[in-house]
Chains A and B, each alone.
Chain A
Amino acid sequence: MRRNTIPNRGELKRKAVNFKTGLGLKLDDELRQKMEAVVQASTAQFLEETVERLKGLREALGRAASDPASRREVLEHIREEAFQIKGMGGVFGYPLLTEFAKSLHDFLKELDDLDELQQEIVSIHVDTLYVVVSHKITGTGGPLEAQLRASLKAAVDKAKPAGAKPAGA
């Protein structure tokens, strides 16, 4: 099979890279702090939006419980919201939000329906995410974090078929 190599045109490099003006190729402390300050400036908005997302998840769970026909739509909604929180949490200094949202997203990944037990597991995830937001838990290694992690793991394991590996194994 012929491999055809096409040299990069290098237009972008020619336009932007020079020896006089601009930023160094390595991120220095001052620039890092400026970038982090930009993120910091949006953190309050992120937390507000996350609370709204979690409220929306609670409402969706209520819909799934009262109207079984809505379960698939609710499942898609929760999956999307979990994905968003997974991607955002750590950016804004809340790695536990990312970890727990990932747990929720992973749990939902293979599902095509949301039975009562699965709704309960989702609900436990939502409650746990609430705790992280309301207590503004930015760490990952304290006793409260360990307790939250353990309760989630136990919940997820409860929904697994007998003989399956426990979460995190």
Chain B
Amino acid sequence: MSEKIDFSHVRFLVVDTNKLMCQLIKDILQMLGVLQVATARDSEKAIAVLRSGGVDVLITEWNLKPKSGMELLDWLRNDGTSPDRMMPVIFLTANSEMEYVVESRDRGVTEFLAKPFTADSMYRRLVSVIARPRDFVSVPNYFGPDRRRQQLPFEGPDRRQHKPE
């Protein structure tokens, strides 16, 4: 018997300035069986929705106002008023160049999906954040998912434990 995801138990917030993109992501999620999808067209509304609770996964564009998607991520990961510092965050963004991928990874994003995206790539990210949750790492300049993806058991000494992250 193989694992399945019952999407009806997962609550999403989709944030994008583009109304059609918000609606499209919402339509796709609902087709997958998601029952609760909130949308926001700016980061202020996104923060209000997050603060009110009831969100399990955040899907956000980088290019937002007044705070950028990166500032929204920073707030969620590092601010004392964050409702859930370990919430999975998927960047779904047209900032698709490698520099953005690297920066988002280094600032604590869970998954990065460049626009334009395909059905396959989106589904893989959803499965990853729900069914393959990663541990979190806290070091002075980073709080976010463990960037070492494969967490295989290792029998030898942990030589990295006193080295910089």
State the A residues within 8 Å of B (CB).
Answer: 1-10, 12-13, 15-25, 27, 31-32, 34-36, 38-39, 41-42, 45-46, 49, 80, 83-84, 86-92, 95, 98
Contacts and interface: CB of A to CB of B under 8 A. Distances in A.
A13 B130 contact: yes
11 contacts: A1-B164, A3-B138, A7-B135, A16-B6, A20-B4, A21-B4, A24-B4, A36-B119, A84-B17, A84-B18, A87-B115
B150 interface: no
A13 B131 contact: yes
A25 B3 CA distance: 7
Contacts of B88: 12
Given A9-B86, A42-B23, A83-B94, A88 B116 contact: yes
Contact of B4 (A1, A23, A41, A45): A23
Contacts, number: 156
Interface of B: 1-7, 9-10, 17-18, 20-21, 23-24, 27-28, 31-33, 56-57, 61, 63, 86, 88, 93-94, 115-117, 119-120, 122-124, 127, 129-131, 133-140, 146, 160-165
Contacts of B115: 86-88, 90-91
Given A1-B162, A23-B4, A16 B139 contact: no
B5 A4 contact: no
Nearest to A10: B133
Contacts of B117: 91
A38 B135 contact: no
